[in-house]
Amino acid sequence: MADTHSIITPAIMYWGTPVVLITTENEDGTANIAPMSSAWWLGHRCVLGMGSMSQTATNLLRNKQCVLNLSSDDMGHYINSLAKTTGSAMVSPRKQGLGYEFCKDKFARSGLTQQPSDLVRPPRITECPVQMEAEMMNNMELMHDLPDRKGAVLAIEVKILRTHVRNDLRLPGHANRIDPDRWRPMIMSFQELYGLGPKSTESKLATIDEERYRMLTRSDVVKQGGDMDLVNSEESAATN
């Protein structure tokens, strides 16, 4: 059989993840926005990857709060308006070399609209179809095996406290589900922006009722939809 693979060493490994516009609160109480796509979810926890010296990391480590605003595939002009900007007045030589510049008011620059959050201080972004208020729970320095890069990048775990979704994304007949045929996220793949294509095939995993995962995602912060259904089902199982 012919060898169909070859060895390469990519400088980046963005294989395709959603673009998150993460809002945090600056030390003076103003809001910062940062587009990023190093984010993944498990249950109602999200792990964020970012440079330790970024304004977003500085804000998160200080006040432990953020909003993860997910962008749709028609929001490229907003994302591009924020690209190569930093909320840090001290622009590092590395970022200067990449063409970054300081921007104090990123809402004004982008034309995005602030919307008050319910449980955290950083604002939501009105134009984003999904907004998740979150609290930082843990953080870890990466690259401990590389002395010259140790601590340059952080993995930050946040807990989702409340999720707001645009009504047209909800799956009819279900209180807490998103219609995947209507959700069209912006995806970053190797620095380029893409939308999702049509569903490629039926998913066997999708035959599982989403509520079966409620055990991992029930809230211990504020009562959320589905929590009482889980409690009732657990009590029923214990007595039957």
Question: What tens digit of pLDDT does each residue of 172-194 get?
Answer: 999 899 999 999 999 999 889 99
Higher pLDDT, residue 225 or 176? 176
Higher pLDDT, residue 111 or 203? 111
Q: What confidence tens digit (pLDDT) does each residue in 5-43 have?
A: 888 888 888 888 999 999 999 999 999 999 999 999 998
Task: Please check the confidence at residue 146 and state whether its pLDDT lies above 90.
Answer: no
What pLDDT shows up at residue 236?
Answer: 46
- Out of 90-94, 96-100, 143-147, 168-172, the most confident range is 168-172
**Phi, psi at residue 53, to the nearest 5°?**
-95, 5
- Largest distance between two CA atoms of the chain: 66
Q: What is the mean pLDDT of residues 106-111?
A: 97
Q: What is the mean pLDDT of residues 130-148?
A: 94
User: At a CB cut-off of 8 Å and minimum separation 6, what does 131 contact?
Assistant: 67, 68, 69, 70, 115, 117, 124, 125, 163, 164, 165
Q: How confident is the model at residue 237 (pLDDT cuts 50, 70, 90)?
A: very low
How far is Cα 235 from Cα 240, in angstroms, rounded to an integer? 9
Q: What is the mean pLDDT of residues 58-76?
A: 97
Higher pLDDT, residue 124 or 43? 124
Q: Kindly report the pTM of this predicted structure.
A: 0.86
Domain chopping of the chain, boundaries: 17-200, 202-240
Q: How confident is the model at residue 201 (pLDDT cuts 50, 70, 90)?
A: confident
CATH of 17-200, one of 2.30.110.10, 3.30.70.940, 3.40.50.2000, 2.40.50.140: 2.30.110.10
| Among candidate residues 40, 38, 88, 46, the one with its CA nearest the CA of residue 67 | 46
Pairing of strands 17-18, 187-189: antiparallel
Q: How confident is the model at residue 203 (pLDDT cuts 50, 70, 90)?
A: confident
Q: How confident is the model at residue 225 (pLDDT cuts 50, 70, 90)?
A: low
Q: What is the mean pLDDT of residues 89-118?
A: 93
